[in-house]
Amino acid sequence: MNNALEKNSSAVRKRIEGHVFDDEEGEEYEGSEFNGFGDYFRRKKIKLQNLDADMRAASDKPPIFKGVVAHVNGYTQPPLQVLHRDIVQHGGGFLQYLDSKTMATHIITATLTPKKAVEFSRYRIVKPTWVVDSIKAGKLLPWSDYRVLGESPSQKVLKFDSDRGLTQSSPTARRGYKEQTENSFYTSQIKAEAQRNVGTQFTEKSPLSSRWQNDKPGDLLQRTEGALASASNEKYSTGNEGDEELKDEPMEFEDQSLPVSTIPADSSKIPPENMTSEEHNAWLLSDPKIRKSSTANPDFLKQFYSESRLHHLSTWKASLKSSMQRLAAEKGLSNRKVKSRSGSRRYIMHVDFDSFFCTVSLKRHPEYLDKPSVVAHSTGAGSEIASCNYVARKYGVKNGMWMKRALELCPDLKVLPYDFPAYEEVSRQFYDAILGVGGIVQSVSVDEALVDATDVVLAAAESHGIGVEEGSIWREQQKVDEIALALRNKVKENTECAVSVGIGANILQAKVALRKAKPNGQFQLRPEQVMEVIGDLKVEELPGVAYSIGGKLEDLGVKLVKDLRDIPKDRLVTILGPKTSDKLHDYARGIDRTEVGEQPPRKSVSAEVNWGIRFINQTEAEEFVYNLCKELEKRLVNEQVKGKHLTVKIMRRALDAPLDPTKHLGHGKCDSFNKSAAFGVATHNYEIIGKEAVSILRSFRFSPGDLRGIGVQMTKLEPIKLNPLAVEGSQRKIAFAPFVEPVPPKQQPRIELTDVVEERNVLSNNPTTPQKFRVGQDDKKATAHINVSGTQFVLPSSPDPAVLAELPSDIRTKLMAQRPKAAATEFQIEAPKSRPQSPVLADLLSSQVDLEVFNALPDDMKAEVLALYGRKPTEPLPRGSPDRLEAARTRKPATPTKPSGSRNTLGQTSRRQDAQDGVIQTNFRKPVPIEEAQPEQIEELDPEFLAELPEDVRREVIADHRRRLLALQSGLEMPAPRNNQSGNPLPGGQRMIQFPMLPPVISFSGSITSTSEIKDMVDAWHAQTRKAGPHKRDVDVLERYLVKVIKEEMDLTKAVALIKWLGVVVDQDDVDSRGRRAWKLAVGGIKAAMQAAVEERGLAPLQI
């Protein structure tokens, strides 16, 4: 710790210890001056120290924190008020405001942000448990054992033990604020709840009661860790055992106890203390019943989704929405109005079952119709009530209530099991009856729907819905009541269950009317009743208004909806935002602009499980993720969609939560984590999704025993164009062939040439020149690229060796590196001798070719030039053919080339080799006159000849033939344009005007040529060097640039504008300093250089 901390904190400590408070007559209790914020805060801090001094003086507790000045940062457990009281009562000092980090000796916090972790790295940062444990121990414990900013987990630290001397230990990893003390409010409530359950759940009938009654309550609580609190009776099982018993007879609590369910079958085994999560899960799963109900069961997912009430609700709701959309599409949206006419009366019906689950379950037990009944999984205290009838609600029982609390309110409660097949059948019959009414239907849930019956009502009442005709409104209201009554009777007849109907002019009014209609009734909210009925509602009863918005409105004094009407709209906007304020402003006046039937397309498909998750190792967790992805794939296929964005949701047991929550195999208190991944192509394949999901799970590095919930969700959905023959639909995959090792090329037998006369190698004396290859050697680089687009930089692929010897060494090295091996043969093919030149051809050659150069060429080169300027060359033989090799045996070596023709020879040889390799230039070679251009004829390949060739040679011949055909058909060798190219004077004595080249544009500092950009650079340059003056080199750079602008670019306007701009910038600096004088001298020097440049050009002096 640095000296500044010790010095400053010691001064603060002495000031706190010496602080004395007698009464409230001090100057700190006087009034503050206007705008004296600093003085106000100074007095406030003194008042806080007065309270601490009074508390410290009245305390009789040991001063174990004497000499400590503490400050609490952020959220902690125990909270700040408790820590403040305990520290002060035990003789310590406390700072509510930390003006400087060195004021406090210890800063108490549960966690720090990364930024604060760096800022506080040199201070004593301790956990709240340091205070609690020190008070419990009766002495000040070492703060280093409770440090928040510990060393890296992999870094060894020295630890001094009184008994064993110096040892090494690895510090534990940092934990978040969820790590709380055992005295936290949540933990104390859990333990108290568990202790109460222990006393109520074990009776004399339980075989374990005598064993557990001998233990102390504290030991019992420590051993069970709350596992006994989530009890259910022995008959309960999520498997097939006992299903018939549950379905045939409802569960009652008369003369029954609540035995424990989470204890393994072997009652002699007691969970040992300090078990890890994995060890506790292994011990828990040793009970076959619990194992069957957890993820250890291979059929867990199938069983879970078959018995999950929430899963059925969400699945049915999604299915119903899809059905409504398909139904609307089939009817062609004929019943939907494009837009309601202005002023038209509307009639919306909100239809809902009365206690849907309980009512349907009571069909099998009619004897309990007039008794309090609920639907739940079991009779255990941790079971959750899914639905209760109106008789049970009179006792205070509500949906979602824990079974234990419900039994306390109504001991005679009858518990009915789930009957999912019956729920599905009743829901189907319910929607059949609603669809029979007509109009627009919107499914809200499996037992709830909205119906826009406006068109049906107006047609039945023979009304237009606009204006007030004789009895029209009365007839419409009467007809909608008749339609609602007929619908209720139809549902009652088909399902033997009652429904309620609320009728209003919009969805809001229909929902409000439904509350007055329940149970088993109907109510129409007429226009004259809207303001009164809605005004008497509490604001929390409006749709979309919950505790948060209700609390903000209550701060404004708004409790009822009619009070909301008195609040100005602009004030609501400042508190709730524009969207929420607009909605509440309309709701308070009975206005709702939402249309019935607006079913947005589905945006996500997910599969989540947060019950029964108990893993022993990482392998089980990853296998479960793959199985969950299979379920997700099934749902994606059912919805006919695929997704591009995956989100994995993970629930991890909180660090201060017990290993067993109150609910049997529930998730309990958890921390939630999300991470997403994007796919390049939308998919629904579970293997692709599962691989990414497992990778995300591994990235969290969570202990598998602490996992309590896992979910996978796909978003950014795209429709699947289903193919009847394939499930993948429109998504196609590239069928890659299996990897095969490359086969080495076949070694061709070497051809012995007997009549070949070796010619002298001109480059033999150059050691850096590679030797030429024989004809029979392997041709590993004989893969010439097709150049159908043309380029003016095509290098010759096989230059003449004599020409190569005359080139510079750097060019020769580049050419040799690109030289194909097969082109360097040790013989040269003699071209057929040319016939005497015709006078026309001689004139053509004399006009375009130097005759001295032409006469110095060898015969084969002459033949090529003649062919280029009017003769049809002989058809080249296919590469590697037997005739070509035979010709190579009998031809004589070519005449040595004269040095004077080396440049032309290089181009001729390059063109000859390029023609053989199929390299073609587009309009860059010298064009052939139109009158002399002749179409080239390419002969067909002989199949018998091809059959005799080796495989690799045959492929090369065919590829060469195909390239030549492609070049001929593409028309790349275009004839010359029809213009004068002979160099003869134009007819009529016309002359061609040749304009001079434009002067180059001089760039400044790289690539800057714009005058405005250079002015900006001058401004920045002057601003940086205004005091010290410009550097000599910088001035020279600008001077040389302006001289070049005058001499080379010849732009006097630009040069004058820049020097004038520099002068203005310097003149604006009104401070007479050394820098300004240096700038004046620099500007004068630049002007003199510019005048000299102008004088060199012979121009008049510049006016600068």
**Where is the binding site for Mg(2+), in residues?**
352, 447-448
Question: Residue for token digits 């079952």?
Answer: 353
Active site residue 448: yes
Do the Cβ atoms of 458 and 476 come closer than 8 Å?
yes
Alpha carbon 945 to chain centroid, angstroms: 62
- Read off the tokens for 816: 């040799």
- Count the neighbouring beta carbons within 10 Å of the beta carbon of residue 908: 21
Distance of alpha carbon 960 from alpha carbon 30, whole angstroms: 105
- Read off the tokens for 466: 């606009």
Question: Which residue from 937, 936, 938 is spatially nearest to 957, judged by alpha carbons?
Answer: 938
Question: Residue for token digits 């410009």?
Answer: 1030
Do the Cβ atoms of 651 and 706 come closer than 8 Å?
no
Task: Name the burial class of residue 275, with classes exposed (0-12), middle (13-18) and buried (19+) by CB atoms within 10 angstroms of its CB.
Answer: middle
Do the Cβ atoms of 560 and 537 come closer than 8 Å?
yes
Distance of alpha carbon 644 from alpha carbon 653, whole angstroms: 30
Region at 160 (left for phi over 0; alpha for psi -120 to 50; beta for the rest): beta
Partners of 70 in beta bridges: 94, 106
Over its C-alpha atoms, the chain yields an Rg (Å, rounded) of 48
- Read off the tokens for 864: 């090529």
DSSP conformational letter for 236: -
In one-letter notation, the amino acid at residue 458 is L
Do the Cβ atoms of 251 and 258 come closer than 8 Å?
no
Distance of alpha carbon 1061 from alpha carbon 1019, whole angstroms: 9
Phi then psi for residue 547, to 5 deg, are: -65, -40
Q: Going by C-beta distance under 8 Å and a sequence separation of 6 or more, which residues neighbour residue 89?
A: 55, 56, 59, 61
Q: Coil, strand or helix: which one is 230?
A: coil
Which contiguous run of DSSP H or E holds residue 358? helix 356-361
Distance of alpha carbon 592 from alpha carbon 508, whole angstroms: 6
Distance of alpha carbon 901 from alpha carbon 895, whole angstroms: 13
Q: Give the helix ranges, DSSP H, for 547-617.
A: 547-555, 561-564, 569-576, 578-587
Q: Which of 28, 279, 307, 448 is catalytic?
A: 448
DSSP conformational letter for 208: T
Distance of alpha carbon 323 from alpha carbon 57, whole angstroms: 75
Question: Which residue from 530, 531, 513 is spatially nearest to 522, judged by alpha carbons?
Answer: 513
Distance of alpha carbon 661 from alpha carbon 916, whole angstroms: 84
Q: Label the pairing between strands 69-72 and 93-94.
A: parallel
Q: How far apart are the first and last CA of the chain?
A: 68
Q: Coil, strand or helix: which one is 849?
A: coil
Distance of alpha carbon 430 from alpha carbon 449, whole angstroms: 10
Q: 842 vs 837, 850, 851, 866, CA distance in Å?
A: 6, 11, 9, 10
Q: Coil, strand or helix: which one is 562?
A: helix
In one-letter notation, the amino acid at residue 1090 is M
Question: Which residue from 74, 179, 58, 67 is spatially nearest to 134, judged by alpha carbons?
Answer: 67
DSSP conformational letter for 110: S
Q: Is the dihedral of CA 221, 226, 232, 234 positive or negative?
A: negative
Question: Which residue from 142, 124, 125, 123 is spatially nearest to 133, judged by alpha carbons?
Answer: 142
The residues carrying an active-site annotation are: 448
